[in-house]
Structure 1
């Protein structure tokens, strides 16, 4: 399956998601500017459950030094930057052999690695120290 087919599938096999992530090309940090709506490839425990509880919406990339990593939806439908895990910045980081944009949390041992699907769609792999597996997600640019 292609990355776009996996996104449409909702909860595909995570091995297929990992393979699609590895097949996608690099994305430059500057290409991520703007607001992105996110979606998870897995639900349930761990980090996915925490994001669901926060009503996670996506991410906002202002510039390389200023990223809102957890953009959430409030009860009234508005968006806000959840600051309980701090802010983040963008850098190019080599992950699984590919140098590409990565979001590094300022105060958490977490790096989100990104790969390009289209100019307005990326796959993400959240690598969190102490977590047993990678959390895969996708982002679609909304502005």
Structure 2
């Protein structure tokens, strides 16, 4: 990060760290630019959310785990504790209640090029989704949360 040491009171990484290849380096840099007493807020996905759920629906058609586990709710505190004095976790309990198969088919097809699931034939996707809908709805778990890490010394 191209800022001087102890520049910021607060740093925010909103749904970002799961894209970062070198998590220790990123967190070291965040710690460096935070002032003593500063707070790092970072929101991230869990390993049991939307994408992983959709991947599980098509496990017979493709052999792929879509979820990036670089930085998740499950392992984030372990990473953060190496660089920050205290780390709290806030979980956001939520789910998607999907009522349109067409919209969900389009969403899954948008994975094309980054996932085998997006390359499945529309009819295969549609039939699988139809079998999962119950009373006109498919409930998909979402797993999101935020870590609040403090630099105390």
Question: Shorter-normalised TM-score: what interval?
Answer: under 0.3
Tell me which protein shows more helix as a share of its residues. Answer: 2
TM-score in terms of structure 1 length: 0.24
Larger radius of gyration: 2
Greater length-normalized contact order (CA 8 Å, ≥ 6 residues apart): 2
TM-score in terms of structure 2 length: 0.23
Tell me which protein shows more strand as a share of its residues. Answer: 1
